[in-house]
């Protein structure tokens, strides 16, 4: 089978790498891919934008692709799945209507209410006056969210009423016509991804991301600066609770709306200090960098899982097999990210990092005349797998020390919460 992966991040490099280990996959095509996927054996890049649905359909048909896997949310929200299925292609990723679970916060909140899923109290507004009256009535802290895809910049956590009012003005000024204002939840965040085939779901290991640019979770929000799995905050008991009280009811509510949701159902959860999980948001795709730690731990064939999902037979799939131990990914970004940053710098040292038993998943890179150069803010992620968390983290940082490009930046505290959990757990 030939597989086509839409996207160009570390997530897509990890998907392509994992696909190559499935015996039934003989070629991977990445659209557009990056420097990392260009260097994988039996993998080619086709340079088309991820929202060029017609171009992607043509590439898949001409190449006889058996399965298309969509990485990012944008093409899913544009209806890539419906479009490609209309051309007779098999696609892993929800339909346009299902992708609203990520693309519209108001839609997702209404669905959660139908499903009886715990989430922060909220209200939806399409005018500033009503939004500001609500802010005055509720008082800070509050979280103001754009009701649309905003490339990670649509959520503003506001410590004061003045900040919340400013956030409202700013989102309406940016052209959003609807916003959600919700209660701020406290606790520890965790990403729980499940593969859903419309009726059945299979949970992946819990993972934890590090969204802020600065150490100690300070500074601006980013796409994610590092991740690890499994995240100890989600104990087996909590994990079962999340499946029963959050994921299953959400899938049933989708079914009741007539939505045959096939793809990743990703719940961004807040675990309250007392242990109660609530949904902060749903995503309709694999997480990045979470995928960079989940796939190296997955022993089962990715092609088997995703094919079974697309064919609606996840219930017949044997239990997912996982390696024991932990995986840690540290993302290296270009200086200035998530603000403006320079591009075109040469990247060196990937081979010597790989020689130290780490995986280097590339994101914002391009192979130009045999030289790897920086093209994006999150440049690459170094993932290490080991029998215990501390040695995985040490290995990831050792690997990173071999990699150089001008202005390289990475957080040095990836995984600090696990250390905290471990120290609490030990006598
Ligand atoms: P994003 O993944 O870009 O939508 O960012 C959402 C982030 O905003 C989450 O990871 C949380 O850190 C934060 N967030 C969203 N909703 C809430 C909430 N109700 N309470 C506290 N933090 C929130
Ligand atoms: N790592 C966060 C996300 O993929 O949305």
Q: List the residue whose alpha carbon is closest to atom 18 of ligand 1.
A: 184
Question: What CATH number is associated with residue 64?
Answer: 3.40.50.20
Q: Cα(161)–Cα(126) distance, rounded to whole angstroms?
A: 18
- Locate tokens 């909140």: which residue? 109
381 backbone dihedrals φ, ψ, rounded to 5°: -130, 135
Residues 251, 333 within the same domain: yes
Instruction: Identify which of 174, 193, 187 has the alpha carbon closest to the alpha carbon of residue 15.
Output: 193
Q: Cα(232)–Cα(356) distance, rounded to whole angstroms?
A: 26
DSSP string, 382-424: EEEEESSHHHHHHHHHHHHHT-B-TT-B--S-TTHHHHHHHHH
Please say whether the beta carbons of 273 and 186 come within 8 A: yes
Q: Cα(204)–Cα(174) distance, rounded to whole angstroms?
A: 36
Q: List the residue whose alpha carbon is closest to atom 3 of ligand 2.
A: 287
Point out the ligand 1 atom lying closest to the alpha carbon of residue 150.
3
Confidence (pLDDT) at 425: 66
Q: Is the CB of 287 under 6 A from ligand 2?
A: yes
Measured from the alpha carbon of residue 291, the closest ligand is 2
Q: Is the CB of 151 under 6 A from ligand 1?
A: no
Residues 262, 411 within the same domain: yes
Cis, bond preceding 294 (omega within 30 deg of 0) = no
For 48, 134, 371, the CA distances from 3, given in Å and listed in that order, are: 16, 49, 26
| pTM over 0.85, yes/no | yes
The mean pLDDT of the chain is 96
Q: Cα(19)–Cα(257) distance, rounded to whole angstroms?
A: 33
Q: With respect to residue 371, please indicate whether it lies within any of the assigned structural domains.
A: yes
Name the burial class of residue 137, with classes exposed (0-12), middle (13-18) and buried (19+) by CB atoms within 10 angstroms of its CB. Answer: exposed
Q: Is the CB of 209 under 6 A from ligand 2?
A: yes
Measured from the alpha carbon of residue 338, the closest ligand is 1
What total of structural domains would you count in the chain? 3
Report CA(9)–ligand 2 centroid distance (Å): 12
Q: With respect to residue 14, please indicate whether it lies within any of the assigned structural domains.
A: yes
* Tens digits of residue pLDDT in 78-120: 999 999 999 999 999 999 999 999 999 999 999 999 999 999 9
Confidence (pLDDT) at 419: 78
Report CA(153)–ligand 2 centroid distance (Å): 12
Name the burial class of residue 248, with classes exposed (0-12), middle (13-18) and buried (19+) by CB atoms within 10 angstroms of its CB. Answer: middle
Q: With respect to residue 171, please indicate whether it lies within any of the assigned structural domains.
A: yes
Exposure of 285 in the CB half-sphere (CA atoms within 13 A): 28
Point out the ligand 1 atom lying closest to the alpha carbon of residue 182.
19
Confidence (pLDDT) at 426: 59
Q: Is the CB of 58 under 6 A from ligand 1?
A: no
Q: List the residue whose alpha carbon is closest to atom 3 of ligand 1.
A: 152
Instruction: Identify which of 99, 305, 68 has the alpha carbon closest to the alpha carbon of residue 200.
Output: 305
Residues 143, 263 within the same domain: no
Report CA(224)–ligand 2 centroid distance (Å): 6
Residues 227, 284 within the same domain: yes
Q: Is the CB of 224 under 6 A from ligand 2?
A: yes
Residues 39, 21 within the same domain: yes
Q: Residues 327, 379, 176, CA angle at the centre, nearest 5°?
A: 100
Range of the domain at 396: 188-425
Q: With respect to residue 107, please indicate whether it lies within any of the assigned structural domains.
A: no
Confidence (pLDDT) at 152: 73
* Tens digits of residue pLDDT in 319-377: 999 999 999 999 999 999 999 999 999 999 999 999 999 999 999 999 999 999 999 99
Q: Is the CB of 158 under 6 A from ligand 1?
A: no
Q: Cα(27)–Cα(19) distance, rounded to whole angstroms?
A: 9
Residues 166, 243 within the same domain: no
Q: With respect to residue 102, please indicate whether it lies within any of the assigned structural domains.
A: no
Q: Cα(317)–Cα(301) distance, rounded to whole angstroms?
A: 11
The segments of the chain whose pLDDT lies below 70 read: 425-427
């Amino acid at each position: 089978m030939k597989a086509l992966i839409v996207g160009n991040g570390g997530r897509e490099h990890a998907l392509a790498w994992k696909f190559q280990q499935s015996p039934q996959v003989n070629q991977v095509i990445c659209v557009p891919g990056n420097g990392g996927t260009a260097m994988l054996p039996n993998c080619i890049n086709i340079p088309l934008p991820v929202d060029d649905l017609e171009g992607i359909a043509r590439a898949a048909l001409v190449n006889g692709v058996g399965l298309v896997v969509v990485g990012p949310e944008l093409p899913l929200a544009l209806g890539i799945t419906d479009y490609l299925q209309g051309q007779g292609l098999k696609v892993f990723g929800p339909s346009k209507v299902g992708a609203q679970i990520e693309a519209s916060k108001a839609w997702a909140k209404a669905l959660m209410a139908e499903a009886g899923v715990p989430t922060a109290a909220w209200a939806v507004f399409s005018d500033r006056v009503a939004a500001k009256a609500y802010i005055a009535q509720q008082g800070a802290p509050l979280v103001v969210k754009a009701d649309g895809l905003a490339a990670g910049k649509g959520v503003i956590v506001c410590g004061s009423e003045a900040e919340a009012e400013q956030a409202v003005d700013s989102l309406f000024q940016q052209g959003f016509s609807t916003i959600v204002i919700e209660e701020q939840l406290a606790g520890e965040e965790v990403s729980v991804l499940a593969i859903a085939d419309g009726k059945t779901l299979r949970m992946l290991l819990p993972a934890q991301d590090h969204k802020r640019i600065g150490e100690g979770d300070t500074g601006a929000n980013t796409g994610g600066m590092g991740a690890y799995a499994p995240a100890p905050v989600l104990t087996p008991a909590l994990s079962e609770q999340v499946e029963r009280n959050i994921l299953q009811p959400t899938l049933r509510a989708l079914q009741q709306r007539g939505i045959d949701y096939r793809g990743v159902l990703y719940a961004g959860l807040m675990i309250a200090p007392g242990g109660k999980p609530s949904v902060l948001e749903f995503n309709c795709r694999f997480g990045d960098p979470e995928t960079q730690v989940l796939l190296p731990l997955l022993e089962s064939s990715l092609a088997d899982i995703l094919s079974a999902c697309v064919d609606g037979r996840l219930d017949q799939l044997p239990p997912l097999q996982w390696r024991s131990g932990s995986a840690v990914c540290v993302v290296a970004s270009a200086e200035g990210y998530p603000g403006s940053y320079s591009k075109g710098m040469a990247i060196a040292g990937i081979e010597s990092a790989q020689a130290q038993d780490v995986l280097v998943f590339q994101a914002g890179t391009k192979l130009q005349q045999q030289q790897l150069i920086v093209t994006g803010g999150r440049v690459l992620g170094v993932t290490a797998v080991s029998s215990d968390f501390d040695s995985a983290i040490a290995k990831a940082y050792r690997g990173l020390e071999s990699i150089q490009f001008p202005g390289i930046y990475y957080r040095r505290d990836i995984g600090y919460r696990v250390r905290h959990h471990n120290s609490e757990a030990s006598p």
